[in-house]
């Protein structure tokens, strides 16, 4: 039930223009205006924001509230409000609304499978970049024509007065792809010393070249960046070795993700081996690195070489579909990383290819710290799960277990559920459609396994009944890979 203050605020934001308001009412009015899609009111509030900081997440609380379509208009209104404020400060020296920091970080923390979130993230980045370029152009025009706007005061003097107190730092997470690369590049380069300054906390770059990534990195504030996520860039070893030296200028960089970078490990040349050693040395020059995601098939047989130069143990390691060999997992279990690991993702590996025992030994070593384990699509059968189960039960802090895409029976899943109830922190298990819930059908002269909806309904009901009887209402068992957040070790 809404509070009386909240209900009163709803009446206020239904009318424009807003009356003169005491400062302490701005936060609740902002919340109400945003949640009810009153974009013009949101812009008005930001334009006259009486505090030095506007922190989006602190005002709006849970991020799930932000992922509906009207929020895009309200986010755009926030940015427009800042632009209006800065233009006024340029044109009216001495005017000061008070806002100096707009914190929009966290809005790019996507919920898996949430298409609205995925469309909102690049929208925010592009809107901020366009605003940054717009304000910089307006500043240049003001410096050139200031004397016409302020009679009796030279353009240079007016500009100096305006610039003395002018400027808003926007702390944000940036998403860049081919279409938005140029505007973001221009925004970062022109806005570095301009009125609207982008302070990037997390950078996600999709399908752009190594040289373009380097150009962006050279324009970022070294003190802010903590995560870099490179997706579908097909960098290869050479591209990665070009980028890594530019990451060493970011002392707070804690996370590096390089996803879908392809190299044929069957034909590594002496030059490739030399580049691997170079990449390892460059990774070792990132002293704050705690999270590493390398979705690269050139890791096969090379994990020791890649990780050997790291200065501190990793807290999160994602090695999806990396064609790892048993020797890779053996090295990892004997390194200094397992005792610190909170998140481990080995999805896409074939457990029957000699990986099961090295994996079991690795889980033994990380059992005291592990919170998140993802073994999706690892070709695991009931027998493999039976081998791992005693070790899984030793992972007393485990919160998430991903087993989707494996060939497990209803009986094996029910046994897993009953035994993992003793894990006090386990909150979510993503399990596969049981293998006994499929039937063979003839499609175009071929037998194809398809889900038997009746058998699946029975299996799902049995699992739900076991959970209900256990009294563990806090545990979620689901066959959907969507709708849950990936573990962010930064917040732990």
Q: Please, are residues 467 and 475 in contact by the beta-carbon 8 Å criterion? A: yes
The predicted structure's pLDDT at residue 266:
55
Q: For residue 58, which of 113, 98, 9, 102 has the smallest C-alpha distance?
A: 102
The predicted structure's pLDDT at residue 486:
67
The predicted structure's pLDDT at residue 72:
83
The predicted structure's pLDDT at residue 491:
58
In a domain, 262, yes or no: no
Dmax over Cα atoms in the chain, in whole Å? 89
Q: How many CB atoms lie within 10 A of CB 85?
A: 25
Q: Tell me, what DSSP letter sits at residue 309?
A: T
**Comparing 155 with 389, which gets the higher pLDDT?**
389
Average pLDDT of the residues of the chain: 86
Instruction: Please tell me the least confidently modeled range out of 225-229, 257-261, 302-306.
Output: 257-261
Q: Which two tokens stand for residue 2?
A: 């809404």
Point out the domain boundary residue: 40, 73, 98: 98
The three-state DSSP-derived secondary structure of 357-379 is: HHHHHHHHHHCCCCCEEECCCCC
Say whether pLDDT at 312 is over 80.
Answer: yes
- Give 189's contacts (C-beta < 8 A, 6+ positions apart): 219
Say whether pLDDT at 432 is over 60.
Answer: yes
The predicted structure's pLDDT at residue 71:
78
Point out the domain boundary residue: 98, 120, 145: 98
In a domain, 297, yes or no: no
Q: Please, are residues 388 and 361 in contact by the beta-carbon 8 Å criterion? A: no
Q: Please, are residues 478 and 428 in contact by the beta-carbon 8 Å criterion? A: yes
Beta bridge partners of 295: 259
Q: Which two tokens stand for residue 198?
A: 């982008």
Say whether pLDDT at 443 is over 90.
Answer: no
In a domain, 217, yes or no: no
Interior CA angle at 229 toward 225 and 235, to 5°?
120
For 131-144, the pLDDT digits (tens) are 999 998 888 887 77
CATH number at residue 339: 3.80.10.10
What total number of domains does the chain contain?
2
Q: Please give the span between the terminal C-alpha atoms of the chain, in angstroms, as a whole number.
A: 31
Residue range(s) defining the domain that contains residue 68: 4-98
Per-position DSSP letters for 239-270, written without gaps between them: HHHHHHHHHTT-TT--EEEEEEE---GGG--H
Mean pLDDT, residues 333-353: 95
- 361, 388, 412, 420, 462 from 416: Cα distances, Å: 20, 11, 6, 6, 13
Torsion of the alpha carbons at 276, 299, 366 and 360, rounded to the nearest 10 = -140
Q: For residue 106, which of 117, 92, 91 has the smallest C-alpha distance?
A: 117
The predicted structure's pLDDT at residue 349:
94
Separation between Cα atoms, residue 111 and residue 103, nearest integer Å? 20
**Comparing 442 with 57, which gets the higher pLDDT?**
57
**Comparing 91 with 332, which gets the higher pLDDT?**
332
Say whether pLDDT at 126 is over 60.
Answer: yes
User: What confidence category does residue 235 fall into, taking pLDDT thresholds of 50, 70 and 90?
Assistant: confident
Q: Identify the residue whose tokens are 């999709």.
A: 206
The predicted structure's pLDDT at residue 128:
95
Q: Please, are residues 311 and 287 in contact by the beta-carbon 8 Å criterion? A: yes
Q: How many CB atoms lie within 10 A of CB 190?
A: 18
Instruction: Please tell me the least confidently modeled range out of 99-108, 151-160, 171-180.
Output: 151-160
Mean pLDDT, residues 179-188: 95
Instruction: Please report which helix (H) or strand (E) contains residue 49, including its range.
Output: none
Q: Which two tokens stand for residue 152?
A: 């009796």
Q: Tell me, what DSSP letter sits at residue 63?
A: G
Instruction: Please tell me the least confidently modeled range out of 239-253, 289-303, 407-421.
Output: 289-303
Separation between Cα atoms, residue 362 and residue 349, nearest integer Å? 15
Per-position DSSP letters for 82-130, written without gaps between them: HHHHHHHHHHSTT------EEE-TTTT-PPTT-HHHHHHHHHHHHHHHH
Q: Which two tokens stand for residue 106?
A: 């966290």
User: What confidence category does residue 162 fall into, taking pLDDT thresholds of 50, 70 and 90?
Assistant: very low
**Comparing 450 with 46, which gets the higher pLDDT?**
46
- R_g of the chain computed on alpha carbons: 27
The predicted structure's pLDDT at residue 1:
44
The predicted structure's pLDDT at residue 237:
80
The predicted structure's pLDDT at residue 108:
55
- Reduce the DSSP state of residue 70 to 3 states and report it: helix
In a domain, 232, yes or no: no
In a domain, 11, yes or no: yes
User: What confidence category does residue 399 fall into, taking pLDDT thresholds of 50, 70 and 90?
Assistant: very high
pTM for the whole structure: 0.87
In a domain, 122, yes or no: no
Say whether pLDDT at 122 is over 80.
Answer: yes
Mean pLDDT, residues 105-115: 52
The predicted structure's pLDDT at residue 62:
52
Q: For residue 456, which of 430, 477, 435, 482 has the smallest C-alpha distance?
A: 435
**Comparing 492 with 481, which gets the higher pLDDT?**
481
Instruction: Please tell me the least confidently modeled range out of 86-100, 301-315, 431-445.
Output: 86-100
User: What confidence category does residue 117 fall into, taking pLDDT thresholds of 50, 70 and 90?
Assistant: very low
Q: Please, are residues 52 and 85 in contact by the beta-carbon 8 Å criterion? A: no
The predicted structure's pLDDT at residue 112:
36
The predicted structure's pLDDT at residue 114:
43
Separation between Cα atoms, residue 334 and residue 342, nearest integer Å? 17
In a domain, 115, yes or no: no
In a domain, 63, yes or no: yes
Say whether pLDDT at 207 is over 80.
Answer: yes
Point out the domain boundary residue: 82, 98, 114: 98
């Amino acid at each position: 039930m809404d509070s009386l203050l909240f209900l009163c605020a709803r009446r206020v934001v239904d009318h424009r223009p807003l009356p003169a308001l005491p400062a302490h009412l701005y936060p609740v009015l902002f919340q109400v205006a945003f949640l009810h899609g009153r974009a013009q009111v949101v812009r008005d509030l930001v334009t006259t924001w009486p505090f030095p900081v506007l922190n989006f997440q602190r005002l709006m609380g849970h991020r799930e509230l932000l992922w509906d379509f009207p929020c895009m208009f309200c986010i755009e209104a926030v940015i427009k409000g800042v632009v209006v404020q800065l233009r006024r400060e340029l044109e009216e020296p001495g005017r000061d609304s008070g806002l100096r920091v707009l914190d929009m970080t966290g809005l790019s923390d996507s919920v898996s499978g949430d298409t609205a979130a995925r469309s909102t993230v690049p929208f925010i980045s592009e809107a901020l970049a366009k605003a940054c370029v717009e304000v910089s152009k307006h500043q240049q025009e003001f410096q050139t024509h200031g004397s016409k706007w302020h009679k009796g005061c030279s353009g240079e003097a007016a500009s100096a007065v305006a610039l003395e107190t002018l400027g808003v730092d926007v702390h944000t997470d940036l998403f860049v792809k081919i279409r938005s690369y140029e505007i973001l590049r221009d925004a970062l380069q022109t806005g570095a010393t301009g009125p609207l300054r982008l302070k990037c906390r997390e950078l996600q770059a999709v399908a752009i070249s190594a040289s373009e990534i380097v150009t962006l990195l050279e324009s970022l504030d070294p003190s802010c960046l903590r995560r870099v996520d490179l997706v579908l860039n097909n960098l290869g070893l050479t591209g990665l070795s070009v980028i890594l030296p530019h990451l060493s200028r970011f002392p707070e960089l804690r996370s590096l993700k390089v996803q879908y970078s392809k190299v044929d490990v069957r034909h590594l040349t002496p030059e490739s081996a030399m580049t691997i050693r170079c990449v390892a040395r460059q990774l070792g020059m990132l002293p704050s690195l705690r999270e590493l995601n390398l979705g690269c098939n050139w890791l096969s047989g090379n994990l020791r070489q890649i990780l050997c130069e790291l200065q501190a143990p990793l807290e999160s390691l994602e090695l999806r579909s990396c064609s790892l060999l048993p020797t890779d997992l053996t090295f990892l279990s004997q390194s200094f990383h397992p005792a610190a690991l909170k998140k481990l993702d080995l999805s896409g590996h074939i457990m029957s290819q000699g990986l099961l025992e090295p994996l079991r030994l690795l889980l033994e070593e990380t059992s005291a710290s592990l919170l998140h384990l993802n073994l999706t699509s690892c070709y695991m059968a009931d027998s493999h799960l039976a081998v791992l189960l005693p070790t899984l039960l030793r992972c007393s802090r485990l919160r998430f277990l991903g087993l989707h895409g494996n060939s497990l029976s209803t009986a094996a899943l029910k046994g897993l559920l009953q035994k993992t109830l003793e894990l006090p922190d386990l909150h979510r298990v993503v399990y596969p459609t049981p293998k006994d819930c499929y039937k063979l059908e003839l499609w175009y002269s071929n037998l194809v396994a398809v889900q038997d909806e009746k058998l699946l309904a029975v299996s799902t009901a049995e699992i739900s009944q076991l959970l209900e009887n256990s009294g563990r209402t806090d545990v979620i068992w689901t066959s959907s890979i969507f709708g849950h957040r990936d573990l962010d070790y930064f917040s732990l």
